[in-house]
Amino acid sequence: MNALIDQFFNLDVMRQALPYLLKGLLITIVLTAVLAPLGMVTGLGLALASRTSHGPLRWLVRAWVNVFRAMPPLVLIILTFSAFPFLGIQLSAMTCVILGLALNNSAYYCEIFRAGLGSVPPGQAEAARSTGLGRFATLRLVVLPQATRNVLPDLASNTIEVMKSTSLAAILSVGELLFAASTARSVTFNTSPLTLAAVLYLLILIPAVRLSGRLERRAPVTPH
Amino acid sequence: MDASGFLDLFLNVDVAKRYLPQLLHGAWVTVSLSVFVVLAGLALGMALALVRLVSPRPVVWLLRLGVDCFRAAPPLAFILLIFFGLPSLGITLSAYWVLWLVLTAILAAFAEEIYWAGISSIHKGQWEAARSTGLSQAQAIRLVVLPQAFKLCVPPLTNRAIAITKNTALGTAIGMPELLNEAQTAQSFSGNATPLILASLGYLLIFIPMMMFAARLEKRMRWGTSR
């Protein structure tokens, strides 16, 4: 029992490691703040492209989504990190993490927005157009607000997944929370920094998970 | 870079031939681990949902907290925690079983929530009707509630199972010789990107059919419930 406390819940070690872990947490938050909007914008763009009447474009989007959803995000990160140097392009580890995860996220956000756009009855857009709104104004003022509201729970839970996936950056030694913790572990020969990292993740993500669960249970608002 | 130089570095037939056995072995580890994780995770998730159904409030509260921990924290954090922590307690598990343990726990946590949502969505009248025909509580759960709930659970369960199975690639962080790890090793020995390209194709070959199967299942289940 003492060995367990000493190895996993050693407060002295945690106190020493805390400043480093907080710095790592900041990078985790920055990564999430970059990746989530990036994924949403590209995902929305792809979703809109998948609804055009242009056949090859639709096919391209389907292929994009299937490929980047099927590949584990870590494979995408390692592929960008290890394959680009063979082309004579040296990218920083941070860039590779952002690139790899953005490709993966874009596919997931695309599927969510596609479902959202599909949930808005076509009559809404037709009515908006017949009042004299342009195509873009119809999308921005009428279709998108309803589409987004209908898939809000999915957007929330996917954004939680984005934050969790930033931990993969640790494998390329990008100094986010998990990397800071595993460095602290190898310096102190003690597992407590990893416990502390898990606790920090949970402090942020458990409220987020509960909140998104509550969004899910609320009945979706369907316009008539 | 000209076309032949590109092919030489990214789709080199000699390199592919040389490392194919290792890559196939890696793919086999990935697939077998995935199967074990899915079987154990779905079963454990069902057990937890049933425990939640019959437990008093404090137990339910603890269970929910545990489930939320596994749903909220990044899998890699748990993998490193267990892999580096357990040996200091005198317990040594191989990387394979560490990965199995963590991914099973995570899938079980998500599955419990999904089963629970399915069970809660069954109308109270179904319970009452089942009990009033003389079925015991256990029979009512097994014969009336679960079959109906399960139908609703299939699409989210398959999607979640696929998402968690993809985390087998995290094994490379603790040196487990699954597909990604074998490809990285082969790449550093050969100084050639071909093994990684092959591994990526391997993942597509494993997961795209699974995703298509899940989509078909989802369609069938939706049709089934609307009747």
- Both tokens of B198, joined, read 């092959």
B170–A206 C-beta distance less than 8 A: no
How many C-beta atoms surround the C-beta of residue B177 within 10 A?
17
Distance CA(A147)–CA(A109), nearest Å, equals 13
Q: How many other CB atoms are found less than 10 A from the CB of residue B133?
A: 10
Q: Phi and psi at residue B220, in whole multiples of 5°? A: -65, -40
CA distances, A2 to each of A9, A10, A78, A150, B88 (Å): 10, 10, 39, 51, 12
Q: CATH number for A18-217: choose from 1.10.3720.10, 3.30.420.40, 3.40.50.450, 3.90.550.10.
A: 1.10.3720.10
pLDDT at A114 over 60: yes
Percent of chain B with pLDDT over 70: 97
pLDDT digits (tens, 9 = 90+) for A37-56: 999 999 999 999 998 888 89
Please classify residue B92 by burial: count the beta carbons closer than 10 Å to its beta carbon, then call 0-12 exposed, 13-18 middle and 19+ buried: exposed
Residue B151 has pLDDT above 90, yes or no: no
Closest by Cα among B5, B1, B6 to B197: B6
ipTM: 0.89
Q: What is the pLDDT of residues B66-110, one digit of tens each?
A: 999 999 999 999 999 999 999 888 888 999 999 999 999 999 999
Q: What are the boundaries of each domain within chain A?
A: 18-217
Per domain, the residue ranges of chain B are 8-226
By Cβ distance, the residue of A75, A165, A197 closest to B199 is A75
Check A78 against B72: CB less than 8 A apart.
Answer: no
Whole-prediction pTM:
0.90
Q: Where are the alpha helices (H) located in B55-123, listed in sequence order? A: 57-72, 75-85, 95-120
Task: Give B133→chain A minimum CA distance, Å.
Answer: 31
DSSP helix, strand, coil percent of chain A (3-state; round to 5): 85, 0, 15
Closest residue in B to A83 (Cα–Cα): B193
Token pair 């990008």: residue: A174
A89 in contact with B, Cβ within 8 Å: no
Q: What is the CATH number of domain B8-226?
A: 1.10.3720.10
Left, alpha or beta for B12 (phi > 0: left; psi -120 to 50: alpha)?
A: beta
Mean pLDDT of A116-145: 92
Facing B85 at nearest CB: one of A73, A191, A202: A191
**Pair of tokens at residue B155:** 């699409």
What's the rounded Cα separation, in Å, for the pair A96 and A81?
6
Structure tokens at B12: 């080199």
Q: What is the Cα–Cα distance from A224 to B212, expressed in whole angstroms?
A: 33
